[in-house]
Amino acid sequence: MTSESQASFNRRLDQARRLLALAQTGLHYTTGVFDKERYEEIAAIAHEQIAEIASLKTDEVAELFAFESGYANPKLDVRCAVFDDAGQILLVREAADGLWSLPGGWADVGLSPAENAAKEVREESGYTVEIVRLLAAWDTAKHPHPPSVFHIWKLVFLGTVQHSGERIGEETDAVGFFSPDDLPPLSLGRIMPEQIRRLDELRRGAGVDFD
């Protein structure tokens, strides 16, 4: 796909997501029967558009968004960058696709972003970490991730190992430390090689990268 085609693809996907967000927010606030019907029709059109753009079936898209209700917001992906004394970064292998990523996932209700990051590291790698600071707040739409039907914001925290233990989650099946310059195949929807190298730069300084 050429850069021009990619830009057009991303623009169409962004428009469809925004249309669906307007429909979802409208359904949350409306009390009128006719308005509800109109918003439901807009949502159905958005589902069709997203399905066409993402090469999915319309009912598959509808199922993905079935539990999305209330005022529409971006989804929050919280991850943790953990480095050892040699400057290698902790990665976990995703059981779903066999590719590697930073420990993390969707933020859970009831925990702060930092608590979510520490929990994900513990569950997916077995390591208990102390969260030191925020390294990055990224909008995945502004980075070369594969397109997603969701609008995702990503928070990445810096963590330091306190002690090791056993993995207690089932979402990952391997754990390892890797040089930022010699990474295994990454799950690019979750993290990009250039983002890992940027996180390595950030942990050496005092700044926060943000979109």
Give yes or no: residues 53 and 106 share one domain: no
75-82: strand order across its sheet: 104-106, 75-82, 152-163, 128-139, 209-210
CATH number at residue 122: 3.90.79.10
Task: Give the separation between CA 113 and CA 79, rounded to whole angstroms.
Answer: 9
Residue-range definition of the domain harbouring residue 20:
3-64
Assigned domain for 69 exists:
no
- Is pTM beyond 0.85? Reply is no
Assigned domain for 181 exists:
yes
Q: CB-based contacts of 39: which residues, under 8 Å, 6+ apart?
A: 23, 26, 27, 30
Q: Tokens 């933020």 map to which residue?
A: 107
Q: Which is nearest to 196 in space by CA: 164, 158, 149, 163?
A: 158
Reported as a single tens digit per residue, the pLDDT across 151-205 is 899 999 999 999 988 877 788 999 999 999 999 999 999 999 999 999 999 999 9
Give yes or no: residues 58 and 82 share one domain: no
Task: Give the separation between CA 26 and CA 37, rounded to whole angstroms.
Answer: 10
Reported as a single tens digit per residue, the pLDDT across 30-59 is 888 888 898 888 888 888 888 887 787 888
Assigned domain for 55 exists:
yes
